[in-house]
Amino acid sequence: MLTYYISDRMQFTGSEAERRVQLLRTIRNAAAAGIDYIQLREKDLCIRDLELLAREALHQIREEGPSRFLINHRTDVALAVGADGVHLTGADIAVSDARALAAKNQSTSQFLFAVSCHSAEQVRLAEAHGADFAVLAPIFEKADVVKKGIGLEELSRAAQKDRLLDMRVEAGDTRRNFPVFALGGVNLELAPLCAAAGATGIAGIRLFQQSSALPALVRFLRSL
């Protein structure tokens, strides 16, 4: 299983400056622990502050290892700071349009486009528009959020767990399952169920941000 840490500095205590210090420390620790993807999701920040924080976060990541760094929503900021990709929400433009706009500024052959989805149908649409992977949420209901989870059956539909791959190569395209990450209420007990349902990886905020033993957590999830 792959791992995807999504940041939220507002979960830390203290002043804004103190929260940023804690966030950057956590991002560095996440990279050191080998988390595959790290997303900066501080969506309340203005573009200038987001860019400054993104540059600091990217520096922490590059100092530690090969984790891929994505910026939430802002393709322009992701490209400006040299991030590895962007995470688009349901309210953003389609991946195909974002990719076309990004290509006008620089080569995007290695640039990642992830998409937030809330149903199997949205996952298929993201795949059709050329997304690299989808984050499906919320799989489980969370105690502090009044929103019912979509459940493991929907995750299995989105991941197409029982899909028979066409192994033929047509027009240079090698067919494969589309990666789907499970997000929302996933903990150590529920993560194996997501793996069994066909999820490619586990995404989370608190799961990673509040962990006191990130390396062990990553090893456990990777073993599923």
- Any idea what the CATH number is for the domain that residue 162 is in? 3.20.20.70
Range 126-145 average pLDDT: 88
Per-residue pLDDT for 164 more than 60?
no
> Are the CB atoms for 198 and 160 separated by under 8 Å?
yes
d(CA 166, CA 148): 35
Q: What is the domain count for the chain? A: 1
User: Which carries the bigger pLDDT value, residue 100 or residue 23?
Assistant: 23
Tell me which residue range forms the domain holding 101. 2-223
Say what the pTM is: 0.92
59: part of which helix (H) or strand (E)? Answer: helix 47-64
Condensed to tens digits (0 to 9), the pLDDT of residues 80-134 reads 999 999 999 988 989 999 988 888 776 666 899 999 999 999 999 999 999 999 9
Range 13-28 average pLDDT: 97
pLDDT of 167 = 47
Lowest mean pLDDT among 31-40, 44-53, 85-94, 159-168: 159-168
> What are the C-alpha distances in Å from 115 to residues 73, 144, 166?
9, 24, 24
d(CA 72, CA 75): 8
pLDDT of 204 = 97
Of 52, 56, 88, 91, which Cα lies nearest the Cα of 71? 88
173: part of which helix (H) or strand (E)? Answer: strand 173-174
> How much of the chain, in percent, has pLDDT values that exceed 90?
79
pLDDT of 176 = 60
Backbone angles phi, psi at 23, to 5 degrees: -65, -45
